[in-house]
């Protein structure tokens, strides 16, 4: 069974066509190395990033076929939701615009700072 996920649930920043082309170049690099697994992985990148780009160009929240890459993006968002929730904050997609790699301390610090700023209600 094929599952789909909305673009808005996996990516919050605008995807440039240049980024998609960069993914296409990575496919070619894997072809040159005769790495079938690498080609398959990079093709998923091209598809997933291409669908996000197309969604942006059309101004529509298109559905993307759920795949390994999309699940990875979604897993990161889920981690952020739990992490922020444990700290008393609400997750917002725009927090991911500088990257969603939660293993990097500077990204966790940046997201926490944005969440704190959003929670400020002007009373203190």
- How high is the pLDDT of residue 16? 87
Helix, strand, or coil (residue 65): strand
Tokens 């939660």, residue located: 102
Position 106 in a domain:
yes
pLDDT tens, position by position, for the chain (124 residues)? 999 999 988 887 788 899 899 999 999 999 999 999 999 999 999 999 999 999 999 999 999 999 998 888 888 889 999 999 999 999 998 888 777 889 889 999 999 999 999 887 555 5
Position 51 in a domain:
yes
Q: Are 95 and 70 in contact (CB under 8 A)?
A: no
| DSSP structural state of residue 15 | P
Position 124 in a domain:
no
- How high is the pLDDT of residue 97? 79
Position 33 in a domain:
yes
Total of domains in the chain: 1
Give the predicted TM-score (pTM) of the model.
Answer: 0.71
CA-CA-CA-CA dihedral for 62, 75, 104, 55, to nearest 10:
0
Residue 9 belongs to what domain range? 4-119
Which H helix or E strand runs over 4?
A: strand 4-6
């Amino acid at each position: 069974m094929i599952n789909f996920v909305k673009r808005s649930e996996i990516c919050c920043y605008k995807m440039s066509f240049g980024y998609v082309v960069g993914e296409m170049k990575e496919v070619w690099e894997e072809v040159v190395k005769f790495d079938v697994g690498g080609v398959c992985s990079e093709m998923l990148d091209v598809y997933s990033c291409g669908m996000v780009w197309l969604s942006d160009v059309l101004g529509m929240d298109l559905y993307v076929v759920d795949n390994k890459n999309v699940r990875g993006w979604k897993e990161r968002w889920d981690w952020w939701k739990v992490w922020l929730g444990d700290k008393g904050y609400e997750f917002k997609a725009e927090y991911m615009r500088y990257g969603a790699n939660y293993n990097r301390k500077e990204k966790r610090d940046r997201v926490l700072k944005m969440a704190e700023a959003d929670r400020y209600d002007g009373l203190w």
